[in-house]
Chain A
């Protein structure tokens, strides 16, 4: 409780919030963050309105823009859908980046160093990517269920381990024939490259997988017993125990799934976009995906939408970087600000603020 000269502000815990209130607060918090980012632009001498228009048109305003947005949405969306599932069970998987990298490493191995029949290469790449990402996520999950080790730290650390493994491979044993000194592998053979939609860079296999999985996860959460158990574990693990749910199994499941999806995202990046493995195969997609996962309210469809939105912002951000001379890490600024406002909005969904002044009281 805070006092200030006749003004009393009290915080009361809400036991639960209605859906409408939640959505309203979320929208409000995102909208409120925009002017603040605008201030940053202004500080830099750029008209905020101008900048926003350029960003939005860059990402959404043209066919080319939209196609580029979709290209970015593929890895971000896949990671986000998976992360959303984990967050629904209140498991904070921060390791999508590392799981993505492991997926891309697995796909590279299949493409360049394995002996599978050519026509099976693509499905095997996806499968191996899933397994690699899932395994990478399984380790922290196991540590959590057996020793209750904090998954945030472990998944974070493993991101950096995977990054180093990647560096080792592309500068060492997997280094391709002289490529201007830039560390990367040889290009994938054509049968290991994902076909693209004509005129775009969209690797449609991954797109189909993304859409299919979004739908599947939606059905999973809303209509199956497993989805129910995940919801229960996320809402109250004690009650889940009391109801006979195996909390450990749920934790392992959501981690494996989210890791696997990130792994698939990695396959898409390496076999669909880049055509080879290199340093920087993921410019932080795994981290960016956390935002739509949270913004989407842990609902797969909303998460997909939010991923599209964020990807569009990033594409637009790339555009204005060139045209307005702004640095590329601008996107991080957006992400950070939106997230801060978002979580502050989250706070409002958990607590009711009552302001009392001069005998009258209002609630927010």
Chain B
């Protein structure tokens, strides 16, 4: 792939990327969240059309306009989110992905069993997908691509859903495939994985190639991490002396499940002190979302406890959390944070409509309007009027509205989850400034973010979350590389000098 450029409305995902894979190798595409790895591979797989650049397969220049064409060229992809139908069997799912009307079921069975043996991908063809473990489901996805005789197999973060044992089995299968002449591209953020099984590593950061085709024995882990993570932002506000503030929030050994019933937060404990910003760094998918939802009352805490100023609020209803002064800037702002059809003022009072803006059962519409107008001014939210449906506002202004609303609660604790994702520079800086100001006024902030620069710029203390646990704690001035290491490695010992 040469000079690939891909632009989206809000961001340039790929900025002139060159990428090369050789036959018979396992090639890791390494990088942080948002580096552009998935985007690049989606271009290769025909799901995205590049704005510029060329693709050559086996020396021939090709144009890939759809996954179908990619498959015909021998390129297959196993996505992070499986495209499997739960109620159908394995065999049926594989048949679904084939072409043609007349399907010889018996032949398919035979071929799949062959693949199973060749590559060590054991599977029960007649089991329904919902009965399978995640690892087994992934095998089905892989088998689907193998069936199409792919020569280049792309795997997007395959081990993020697997247990260590399943990862081992996957690696064995991959090695088998490579031995028979296939090439594998492994999108991952896990450094040790890349070093273990990959022959070659390319590092992507913010849409550019930082280093390409590094051979396994050529670089040390530290080199790689610093390449992945890069330098920190220059915005580093001066911090007052770290005061020993009292403990506002106390989380003790909590366990939270994800939507599928698997454990997302294994055993997390930490404290949040008054007047501090506690950053939680980590690659997405390590339990942060479930943690935030548990702490805000949107998800059940299975074990452990959460206390605010000594009051036990484990599994308290959302209403109670709000009344105790817990504000929440949600990660998925369109899904949870606003009601698009309703007006700006309707959205502005979402948290306080009961407490502040109502007398008995009646809404004090005048007060609502006044407050909304004030907040629009204070936070410089661009909107034609207070009655405009929120859906008309730009993404940045919607986020400003959410921030304004949460802050107008005068919260004791603000839990902010990826508060600047998808925002332009101006809005991002604005949100950072607001958070900083909030902290100075004495509130506490739990900042959960995939953006390491953001964490480093704002946090007094930093926790690193990985695979459902807090694996390390850092002071505010820690180096990005140290944190990056903690995020990507399994080992917990401090790095050697």
Contact = CB atoms under 8 A, between A and B. Distances in A.
Given A14-B391, A16-B391, A244-B319, A232 B363 contact: no
A236 B339 contact: yes
Contact of A16 (B296, B340, B354): B340
B318 A244 contact: yes
A16 B392 contact: yes
B338 A236 contact: yes
Contacts of A223: 362-363, 365
Interface string A1-43: 0000000000000111110000000000000000000000000
SS class of chain A's interface: helix, strand, loop or mixed?
Answer: helix
A200 interface: no
Interface in B326-361: 328, 330, 335-342, 346, 349-351, 353-354, 358, 361
A239 interface: yes
A235 B341 contact: yes
Interface in A216-240: 223-228, 231-232, 235-236, 238-240
B245 interface: no
Contact of B340 (A231, A236, A242): A236
A22 to B, nearest CB: 10
A241 interface: yes
A243 B321 CA distance: 10
A242 B338 CA distance: 9
Among A16, A224, A235, A242, chain B packs the most CB atoms within 10 A around the CB of A242
Contacts of A242: 296, 298, 318, 328, 330, 336-337, 350
Contact of B342 (A17, A226, A235): A235
B7 to A, nearest CB: 18
B322 interface: yes
Contacts of B365: 223
Given A15-B340, A242-B298, A225 B363 contact: yes
Contacts of A227: 363
B392 to A, nearest CB: 6
Contacts of A238: 335-336
Interface string B305-337: 000000000000111011000001010000111
A244 B317 contact: yes
A238 B350 CA distance: 12
A232 B362 contact: no
Contact of B338 (A224, A225, A226, A239): A239
Contacts of A16: 340-341, 389-392
B351 A243 contact: yes
Contact of A228 (B297, B353, B392): B353
Contacts of A241: 298, 318, 336
Interface string B468-497: 000000000000000000000000000000
Nearest to A225: B358
Given A18-B389, A244-B317, A225 B353 contact: yes
Nearest to B328: A242
A225 B350 contact: no
Contacts of A243: 318, 322, 350-351, 353
Nearest to B297: A244
Given A242-B298, A242-B328, A235 B363 contact: no
B329 to A, nearest CB: 11
A145 B322 CA distance: 24
A239 B298 CA distance: 11
A221 to B, nearest CB: 11
Contacts of A235: 339-342
Interface string B361-372: 111010000000
Interface string B392-435: 10000000000000000000000000000000000000000000
Contacts of A232: 339, 342, 346, 350
B476 to A, nearest CB: 30
Interface of A: 14-18, 223-228, 231-232, 235-236, 238-244
Task: In the A-B complex, list the 7 residue pairs whose CB atoms are closest, starting with the nearest.
Answer: A16-B391, A15-B391, A16-B389, A235-B339, A244-B319, A244-B318, A236-B339
17 contacts: A14-B391, A15-B389, A18-B388, A223-B365, A225-B358, A226-B361, A231-B342, A231-B346, A236-B335, A236-B339, A236-B340, A239-B336, A239-B339, A242-B318, A242-B336, A243-B318, A243-B322
